[in-house]
Structures are given as structure tokens and as C-alpha cells.
Amino acid sequence: MSIDKAFIQTLISRIDLIDLIDGRVPLRKKSNANYFACCPFHSEKSASFSVSQPKQFYYCFGCGAHGNAIDFLMQYDRLSFPEAIEALAKQAGMEIPHESTTRAKPAVSPDLYDALLTVLKYYQTELRQSERAINYLKQRGISGAAARDFCIGFAPAGWDHLQKHVKDPKTLLEAGMLIKKDEGGYYDRFRDRIMFPIHDRRGRVIGFGGRILDKGEPKYLNSPETPVFQKGHELYGLHQVLTAHRELSRAMIVEGYMDVIALAQHGVDYAVATLGTATTAQHIQRLSRHTSHIIFCFDGDTAGRTAAWRALLVALPIMRDDIQIQFMFLPDGEDPDTLIRKEGKVDFEKRIETALPLSTFFFHMMSASADFSSVDGRARFVNACMEHLRQLPEGLFQKMMLDTLAKKARLDKVELSPSKKSEPVKKMRSPAARAPSMVRLAITLLVQNPALALCVTEPSFLSETPGTALLFELIDTIQQHSLPTTGALLEHWRDHADRKWLEKCIKDEHIIPLNDMKSEFLGAINQLKKAANKQQIELLLAKASQNALSLEEKQRLQTLFCEK
Ligand SMILES: [Zn+2]
């Protein structure tokens, strides 16, 4: 979803961060326009979470959490970027304009959610009336409480129960609950099945999974893809897990609904399941928004190992340094459902402690077919590993994996570079990160007090000094879009390579009295200008010594001397 940037800026300027946060985390006013609270993002006894009214920016001195109103909603309410915008727009009473370039997506009618909720209630009523279905659940060991928590229902045998119950077949067809007959009319998709509703993260019913009661094929049947249900994105049980945990220290990914329910019923209430598909990057990304520790649980057989390897490959490109991924393999013939009933929570959780870290599982699988006795064999091993390790984002984890690889192949680690050819890997590093202290001071003052940009009346000048271009880009942007606060300014740089570096500048403490700020800032720019002049003069003089100056350049040199 692409949302007009100007709209986002207006939105941010209409929201007061203090009100927004205070509604969720009570704030205390400490000093001029600064508010404090115990940090909602890490546990602490003293208040190190600060919110600045003029900057419209929050920062925790304990854990480093920081950002503007959008970031806060993303972190605290665990919303995606578009969801956070949506929530803020609702609060501000504004309508989100969608850029015309946005792919025309069929609008999801709210009726679809209503219709699915009606279906859910119908299935639940049917379950209460079917002794046979209740007996089946009892025999599978599902408690009444678990059936209630997971809103389990029953679709009776027969072809037209659901459509008789609900008046609007068109909506039900769109929701995937009915199937169109060739000769006209509809029939129920789910018949004689235990029904497991699938909720989205916000708790709305978006689809169903149904298990056949007796013998029959297929054993499990899921709703088809609909405007509200995308299998590659949704995780069964995530809504229940998030309801049970405000802070989720870890989450487990298992294969089936019954596994999720049995685990929850026995106290392992942090498991989710993929919906009849292999794990996708979206699954992992969605889950990693709520926890930094993910445990994959697979059967110990060959099929399980293969599925685990596939999940590992999907996870590689999104392995941030702060994510921990483990692989847990169950004994032959067991699944989480059967195992948790046999051994209970404590013993089951002991298995997590011995689950393989991603790194161990990776090298275990890669080494299995490698020949370490010859140089050729080791080279092949290194090449095969590098193929995958290149997928890792740059960072500490990648470095450690490369170190391990070097040790295993008995190579010096300097010979291994993660880049595709032999080029150095500094692709995303911001040039501003090399900015000398003068530029850094100017940028820091500016991002902390965007209004300073309005004091700059001189046009920008060319300079070789790293960071100067960013400085003028900031001044320009603030002047053009009249961005009054740090929070608004940072939003403009959300997807920019320099954002991380700018965030650092926001956190820098400079003890400069408010009155002197303007002169410090203009002073810094002046110095930069002098340095740039000097660079230019040197350049032109060098050219002049070879008698290669144009008339224009000669005039320019003269002006520069005068200014000096
Ligand atoms: Zn914190």
C-alpha cells in the first residue's frame, strides 16, 4: 500500500504524541515539555522512557526504543506501517487518500467479516447440538475451555445447511463458504466437519479450516484465498497467542490446528500454525514483529528435515541480529499434539532448550554431504555455503556465520567475503556516517530543532565534505514542507539510507542553551562554507597552473577570493 507522503505529514502534525502515548502509558511531566514514564518496551522500575512535546519524539534511555507517533503505534500496538497510518487517521478524523499509482485492489467489504462471524456463530450452535461432534472432540482430548478459546464449531452433513441459515449467498460465496453449481445455485463448501475459525491478528474471522469427522478425503480442508484471507500471510492461533501475552518472549511454529490447540491446552500457549502451506517469509516477518525468538517444530523424519531446511532458507534473508531461530525435531511418529499429552509442559519445554540454533542446523545439513579430506572438497563446501550465507543481511550474525565457515573449512576468514564478486560490501552505509564533527553538529542541532532551517537564507553550496549534501537536503526539505518537529522530519526519511544515522543524531545530547543554538548552527554552516570555498579555490588554482581555466572559471576564482 502506498500512501501519499504529504498526507502522512499532515497527519503527524495533527496528532499530539503526548496524548497518543498518555492514553496507553500514563506520562508524568518532568521538565519543560518533557514527559517520562516507565518504559513499555522493557521492564524497569525507574522511568527512563522520555517523550518530548516539541520534538514529537520518544526515546528510552534504557532500551533505546525511539520514534514518532507512527513508530509508537507500530511498536506498542504491533501494527504494520499502513495499519498505524490507518489508526492515526481514524483518530484524527482524516480520510486516507490513495496514490493513483496504487494497484486497484478490490475493496474488502465489511460485510465479508460480518458474514464470516455469522457463519462462526452458526457452526458453534451446531456443535452444541451434535453429540457426535462433541464426542469426537472429547475423544481427541480437546477440553471445553480450549473449544471455547479457539471458537471450535461444527458444519453438519448435508449440502445446503449454511445457505439456508444465511440470506445473502453472494457474500458467502465471496467469503469462500459456498461453491457455485454449474447448473446454477450453490452448495456448502464444508460438510460434516469440525470447524476451526481462522482469525486475523485483530481477532476478526477471515476463514476456516475443517477436519473431516470420520473417514473421508481430504482430511483437512481450508477456506480458499479470498479478499480477506491469504494463506501465505496468516498464522493460525496468532490472535490467541497475542491475547494471552502482552509481551511474547518466544513463539513456536507447528504444522496443524490440533497441535496449536493441544499445546495451548497444556500450557504451551505460544504456538501458531501455518495454514496448509510451507512457511513463507511473510509468516516469519509477521511473527518476528511480536517476538525475537522463533522455534520451528518439525517431525524428525526425512519429510520433517526437508520442510525445516526449506523454512531455514526462507528465514535467511530476514535474519536480523536480534532474531533467534531454533529448529526442534520430534521423535519418530510423534507430533506436538500426541507428545504434549504424553509428557506435559515441563518435559516438552525441555526439548526447546536442546533445539538446534539456526547456525548449527545450517552447518549440520551442509556438512552432511561434504568431503573435508581434500582441498577440492573443502572448496566445494565453502562455495555451497557461501551461496546461502550471501542471503543473510549484513551484520554481526553474518560475520559469525562466516567465521564459523572459515573454521570448518580450515581457511583464514579474511578470504571469505559475503559480497557476490570481490567488491567490498559497504553498499548501504550512509556517506553521512563519515561526516566530520562540524557537519554532524549542524545536522544534530537541525534534526533536534527543525525550525533552525528557517534561519538559513543563503543558497546551498557545493562541498566535498561528507554529510554536507544531507545537511542541505534536510534544510531544503524542512523549508519546503514546513516540517516543524523531529518526529515529522524523521517520517520524511523513513525509507532513506540515512535514517539510522539521523536517529543517532537525535539521541545525541548537546548541552547548548536554547538562545545560543541559532548562532551555533549558523556558525557551523559558515565554517562549512569557508572550507568549501577553500576546496574550490585549490581546485581552480590547480587547473590554472596547467593554464586550463575558462573565462567563467577565472571570474569564479575572483569571486571566491573576494568572499574569502
Ligand atoms: Zn525501554
Beta strands 66-67 and 57-60 are antiparallel
104: burial class by Cβ within 10 Å (0-12, 13-18, 19+)?
A: exposed
What does the alpha-carbon distance between residue 444 and residue 437 come to, in Å, rounded to a whole number?
Answer: 10
User: Strands, DSSP E only, in 73-162?
Assistant: 153-155
Say how many Å lie between the CA of residue 63 and the centre of ligand 1. Answer: 4
What does the alpha-carbon distance between residue 275 and residue 282 come to, in Å, rounded to a whole number?
Answer: 13
177 within 8 A of 113, measured Cβ to Cβ = no
| SS3 state of residue 564 | coil
Q: At what angle do helices 81-92 and 5-14 cross, to 10 degrees?
A: 50
489 within 8 A of 10, measured Cβ to Cβ = no
Say how many Å lie between the CA of residue 297 and the centre of ligand 1. Answer: 31
pLDDT for the residue 489: 87
Q: Which residues contact 48 (CB under 8 A, 6 or more apart)?
A: 36, 38, 39, 60, 61, 62
Say how many Å lie between the CA of residue 67 and the centre of ligand 1. Answer: 12
Q: Which residues contact 42 (CB under 8 A, 6 or more apart)?
A: 60, 62, 63, 65
Say how many Å lie between the CA of residue 558 and the centre of ligand 1. Answer: 56
Q: Which residues contact 443 (CB under 8 A, 6 or more apart)?
A: 432, 435, 467, 470, 471, 474, 502, 505
pLDDT for the residue 547: 77
The candidate with the shortest Cα–Cα distance to 389, out of 379, 408, 404, is: 404
302 within 8 A of 310, measured Cβ to Cβ = no
Say how many Å lie between the CA of residue 508 and the centre of ligand 1. Answer: 17
What does the alpha-carbon distance between residue 341 and residue 263 come to, in Å, rounded to a whole number?
Answer: 9
Say how many Å lie between the CA of residue 352 and the centre of ligand 1. Answer: 28
198 within 8 A of 236, measured Cβ to Cβ = yes
295 within 8 A of 253, measured Cβ to Cβ = yes
Which of the two residues, 497 and 179, has the higher pLDDT score? 179
Say how many Å lie between the CA of residue 392 and the centre of ligand 1. Answer: 28
The identity of residue 392, as a single letter, is L
249 within 8 A of 172, measured Cβ to Cβ = no
pLDDT for the residue 425: 36
200 within 8 A of 234, measured Cβ to Cβ = yes
Say how many Å lie between the CA of residue 305 and the centre of ligand 1. Answer: 38
Q: Which residues contact 411 (CB under 8 A, 6 or more apart)?
A: 378, 382, 405
Evaluate the omega torsion of the peptide bond into residue 218 and state whether it is cis, within 30 degrees of 0.
yes
pLDDT for the residue 435: 61
What the chain holds in terms of domains, given with CATH numbers, is: 5-92 (3.90.580.10), 110-222 (3.90.980.10), 238-363 (3.40.1360.10), 369-415 (1.20.50), 431-563 (1.10.860.10)
What does the alpha-carbon distance between residue 319 and residue 390 come to, in Å, rounded to a whole number?
Answer: 12
> Is pLDDT of 273 > 60?
yes
Say how many Å lie between the CA of residue 560 and the centre of ligand 1. Answer: 51
What does the alpha-carbon distance between residue 149 and residue 417 come to, in Å, rounded to a whole number?
Answer: 50
Of 45-59, 141-155, 453-467, 517-531, least confident by mean pLDDT is 453-467
Say how many Å lie between the CA of residue 237 and the centre of ligand 1. Answer: 28
Residue range 7-19, pLDDT digits in tens: 888 888 888 898 8
Say how many Å lie between the CA of residue 30 and the centre of ligand 1. Answer: 17
Say how many Å lie between the CA of residue 130 and the centre of ligand 1. Answer: 51
Say how many Å lie between the CA of residue 235 and the centre of ligand 1. Answer: 28
The candidate with the shortest Cα–Cα distance to 493, out of 544, 425, 549, 446, is: 446
Say how many Å lie between the CA of residue 44 and the centre of ligand 1. Answer: 8
What does the alpha-carbon distance between residue 270 and residue 512 come to, in Å, rounded to a whole number?
Answer: 49
Of 154-168, 295-309, 514-528, least confident by mean pLDDT is 514-528
Q: Tell me the average pLDDT across 129-146.
A: 95
Say how many Å lie between the CA of residue 512 and the centre of ligand 1. Answer: 26
Write the DSSP string, 193-249.
EEEEEEE-TTS-EEEEEEEESSS-S-SEEEPPPBTTB-TTT--BTHHHHHHH-SS-S
Say how many Å lie between the CA of residue 60 and the centre of ligand 1. Answer: 5
> Is pLDDT of 377 > 90?
no
The identity of residue 514, as a single letter, is L
What does the alpha-carbon distance between residue 185 and residue 200 come to, in Å, rounded to a whole number?
Answer: 30
Say how many Å lie between the CA of residue 48 and the centre of ligand 1. Answer: 7
543: part of which helix (H) or strand (E)?
A: helix 514-545
Say how many Å lie between the CA of residue 120 and the centre of ligand 1. Answer: 40
Say how many Å lie between the CA of residue 132 and the centre of ligand 1. Answer: 52
Say how many Å lie between the CA of residue 296 and the centre of ligand 1. Answer: 28
pLDDT for the residue 225: 87
Say how many Å lie between the CA of residue 346 and the centre of ligand 1. Answer: 31
> Is pLDDT of 393 > 80?
yes
Q: Largest Cα–Cα distance of the chain, in whole Å?
A: 101
Say how many Å lie between the CA of residue 43 and the centre of ligand 1. Answer: 7
Residue range 412-450, pLDDT digits in tens: 654 566 654 433 333 344 555 556 677 888 888 888 888
